[in-house]
Chain A
Amino acid sequence: MNMQLARILPEVILTITGVIIMLAEPLLQKNSSRKPLGWFAVLGTLAALFASMWQLHLPDGTAYFGTVQTDAYSVFFHVLIAGIVLATLLVSLDSIDGSAESVGEFFALICFGAVGMMLMTSAVELLLVFIGLEISSISTYIMACFRRKSAKGPESAIKYFLLGSFATAFFLYGIALIFGATGTTAIAAIGRILTVGQTPLLAVVGLAMILIGIGFKVSAAPFQVWTPDVYEGAPSPVVGLMSTAPKAAAFAVLLRILYVAFPLLHYHWQPLVWWMAVLSMCVGNLGALRQQNVKRMLAYSSIANAGYLLAAFTALSQEGVAAASFYAVTYAAMNVGIFAVVSHAGGFGDRLTLVQDYRGLAYRSPLLGGAMAFFLISLIGIPFTGGFFGKFYVFAAALHSGMVWLTIIGLINSGIACYYYLRLLAAVYSKPVHTDLLDGIPRPTMPLLLALVLTVAATLILGIVPGQVLSLARAGANTLVPYVTTAMK
């Protein structure tokens, strides 16, 4: 096979899948089910997943004039994104079909969004990163607006779109400034150029702009204000996707940029990231304490989790990169899982919104209640779940690099977080049962069960036998590590 093409094989597969779905959609009967299209998207995602794994056997290297690079790091995030998309597709197969218009479009958009996110993680050229970011953002803007008829839907989508494009503008401006300072947009080349001589102020400003842009995308404080509103208004399966996959991709990009292009400037960005981490943890957890709306609460929880992940960034070590990658996986598993439960229990129109609406869910549907309890326990960070091991790894990495206060703040925060997760957990297992609301919950369908099995299994494996994923995360981190060790010591 053409070596160049092999390096973007997963993206190609998903693009073709998306295009076929777009073309097939108008050919189907107007009122017929769009599920076959969804299953086709599932197949395409599976193929992309295997294609990404296959890429591990390729020798590391770049393609298309050094813009795309496949290595253990990019494959790690490719597989993660494909996994998230797979679970999201399974969740939305039944909840979207029959409830929204232009469902085929929805499945195609998920595929296109995945292409953008995957490109972000394998791009080693800032402009291509930007293009990937835009592809993924635009599809998530549209998906956020899929509940066109509810008032909250368009509101949330407009908010997301306006603030999102503002942030990408920052990102683009940052790239321009860095190009002005170094004369290149290739990430590795920037790193090489900046090792020589005085660091131009322009590059520092550019880096700050990029931090702002990415900070918005991962909803890190102080760029988090949009998150609760958007999560509240968007359809639940979409929230499950956009709180994990685009964030993972953005984190992957940020790691690559910080560790490969700007390792020498770490005394500039490390304190900034430190503060972003602390602020995100505190704002997220304290904000979540007061929320009555489950989706808003989970939105704040995702801000807090972005903080935990950023804590690993400050470690300035291979362990830090590996911990951040590992945490992205654990957070994705549990968060996609909990949104699968929320989207099935609440339905497309979000019938269950408040914490108290979930009263007695475990008695009405032991399966959904149990799954929700399990993911909440993982979010709290109890051993035997991935959530615990992820936090353990992140804070071990931070502590190892002497970030004692960050570790203490982080762990105290995760203690505070217990409170709001427990509130939901207590509601799920409390009596009396809220029958009028809970009676409307349909029986779990096969695709939903598949998605739940997938996420529960992933969370358990990450918590009990994390060795395999740990090795992969470390192998990924190793590809960034030459830069880390040479420049930062």
Chain B
Amino acid sequence: MILGWLIVILIAGGLIAWPLARLHPLLSRLIALSAVTLDLALALVLATRDFGPGSTAGGGWREELDWSWIPQFGIHFHLGMDGLSFLLVLLTLFLGVVAVVVSWTEIATAVGFYHFNLLLILAGILGVLLSLDLFLFYFSWELMLVPMYFLISVWGRERRTHAAVKFFLFTQLSGLLMLIALLALYFAHHQATGIYTFEYQDLLGTPLDPHRAMWIMLGFLAAFAVKLPAFPFHTWLPDACAEASAASNLVLASLMAATAAYAMIRFLLPLFPEAVHTISPLMIVLAVIGILYSAILAFSQTNLMRLVAYASIGHLGFVLLGIFAGNSLALRGTVMTVIAHGVSIGALFLVAGAVEKRVQSREIDTMGGLWDTIPCLSGVGLFFALAALGLPGLGDFIGEFLILIGTYQAHIAAAAVAALGVLAATFYALRFVQYAFQGTNIHSWHLPDLAAHEGFVLGVLIAVLLWLGLYPQPVLQTLAQAASHAPALWR
């Protein structure tokens, strides 16, 4: 039942926060903050449950909720949580709190509607992470779309409408392909067993002939690859990030990518093992291209948000590599990278947003020499840039290291080329620091340094990255519990 509450609290919080902004925007912010914080606390309560390896009681789900929803189609409101979804739920709610806090000063117009959209996205993400019914999964997947569209198009910069429409069209079209695939799977299951169901665990065993399995798999893959985003479907992300506010970018790049990676691990790999195996060489090539290509593009960006967006695509290339490498080591690294990427790239967006708020621009040539006037913010920026380039001792390193080891076992060449990507990341990350913070203060900026709440948020993010980098065992152990559902994947 806790799982139901997690979603209900967010939606209810959003619905209450919306009209309250008319009384006072502060009320709306407080309601949103308390709803997300309450959710985070509830999720942490779940941490006391046993997520250790081998705990398979209750169908292997640590927490489950199953209501009949539309019986005519065999659709259930079925939520379940295991180690994998637990970690990502925690990430979502943690970054959710961060997003609300960051918006405190950044968002000044239509505050109520903003928080309604933000909380609705978080609810949609939780729905994706917890669904054990594929219809519910699709429902939640699409639910994230419209509020995200509003976040970009209402609170974005000059070319926001264009960016928002591009984001919407990419995700909606690919989502429709997934819908066709989902329906095809549903009917294939009926053909084989005579039962209409969208249940994850029933569909897992659907016998499919290879040809059909391939097409269905491609439908799902289209949606996930666009949302991740994977090369060559990534073009919407830099456009959207260049226009949206920092908090929206945090949700867009960190959390949406997490849902896509989760969906691949939870649904794509176990549902279509053979088809995935067939297509994995192609995906590995795409992943490696994505890693290198995004590094080159990131290096040549002049817009700070775009630069970070391409950095994000580079990390997500590693995620894609880990998913299709085909062994459990890489898969563990993938989850680790998703979490660390969420924190580090999210934080980079926040740093870029903080800089933008001070110099009123996202263009890198308006900056330079900021270290003299805002040393704390610049230092924090350096820290996250180092995290993004994979400095040992920080979360990203662990994840990418595991992925590279895993890939090495399967495809030596791919691992070798991808390792170059780590090197390439050094260039853009250092360029970010050099051009924005170092050098001479040619524009003679005199700016206020980090405010208390900014410092606090970024400090917490630093602590989390350090924790992930120095003591990743809790994450990896929690992950082990997911093994009971798709043992072949995690062995």
Tell me the A residues contacting B by CB distance below 8 Å: 377, 380, 382-384, 388, 392, 395-396, 399-400, 407-408, 411-412, 414-415, 418-419, 422-423, 426, 429-430, 465-467, 470-471, 474
Contact = CB atoms under 8 A, between A and B. Distances in A.
Contact of B146 (A382, A408, A411): A382
Contact of B72 (A392, A395, A400, A467): A467
A76 B73 CA distance: 20
A415 B169 contact: yes
A408 B140 CA distance: 22
Given A388-B142, A396-B183, A399-B183, 13 more contacts: A380-B172, A383-B138, A399-B180, A408-B180, A411-B177, A415-B169, A422-B165, A426-B161, A426-B164, A429-B150, A429-B153, A430-B161, A466-B70
Contacts of B184: 399
A418 B154 contact: no
A470 B142 contact: no
9 smallest CB-CB distances across A and B, nearest first, come from A415-B173, A411-B176, A383-B139, A383-B142, A426-B161, A399-B183, A470-B72, A418-B172, A415-B176
B369 to A, nearest CB: 35
A474 B72 contact: yes
A382 B177 contact: no
Given A415-B173, A422-B168, A382 B183 contact: no
Interface of B: 69-73, 138-140, 142-143, 145-146, 149-150, 153-154, 161, 164-165, 168-169, 172-173, 176-177, 179-180, 183-184, 186-187
Contacts, number: 71
8 contacts: A382-B143, A382-B146, A383-B139, A395-B183, A422-B164, A422-B168, A426-B165, A467-B71
Contacts of B154: 429
A411 B140 CA distance: 19
Contacts of A474: 72
B146 A392 contact: no
Nearest to A473: B72
Nearest to B164: A426
A407 B183 CA distance: 10
A314 to B, nearest CB: 16
B146 to A, nearest CB: 5
Given A383-B139, A467-B70, A419 B165 contact: yes
Nearest to A380: B172
A398 to B, nearest CB: 9
Contact of B145 (A382, A407, A426, A465): A382
B375 to A, nearest CB: 37
A316 to B, nearest CB: 15
Contact of A415 (B165, B172, B186): B172
A474 B168 CA distance: 34
B473 to A, nearest CB: 39
A24 to B, nearest CB: 43
Contacts of A467: 70-72
| Most A C-beta atoms less than 10 A away, residue of B145, B173, B179 | B179
B174 to A, nearest CB: 9
A429 B168 CA distance: 15
| Most B C-beta atoms less than 10 A away, residue of A383, A418, A429, A470 | A383
A419 B169 CA distance: 7
A45 to B, nearest CB: 30
A410 B52 CA distance: 46
Contact of A470 (B70, B177, B179): B70
Contacts of B138: 383
Contact of A418 (B72, B169, B177): B169
Nearest to A374: B146
A395 B186 CA distance: 13
A131 to B, nearest CB: 36
A106 B173 CA distance: 43
A412 B146 CA distance: 18
Contact of B176 (A400, A414, A419): A414
Contacts of A465: 69-70
Contacts of B153: 426, 429-430
B258 to A, nearest CB: 20
A377 B145 CA distance: 10
Contacts of A396: 73, 183, 186
Nearest to B177: A411
A16 B153 CA distance: 51
A187 to B, nearest CB: 28
Contacts of B172: 380, 415, 418
A384 B135 CA distance: 12
Nearest to B150: A429
Contacts of A422: 149, 164-165, 168-169
B179 A392 contact: yes
A412 B187 contact: no
| Most B C-beta atoms less than 10 A away, residue of A377, A395, A408, A411 | A411
B180 A407 contact: yes
Given A411-B177, A412-B173, A382 B142 contact: yes
Nearest to A418: B172
A432 to B, nearest CB: 13
A415 B169 CA distance: 7
Contacts of B187: 399-400
A293 to B, nearest CB: 20
Contacts of B186: 396
Contacts of B146: 377, 382
A470 B69 CA distance: 12
Contacts of A418: 168-169, 172-173
A382 B173 CA distance: 12
A471 B176 contact: no
Contacts of A384: 139, 143
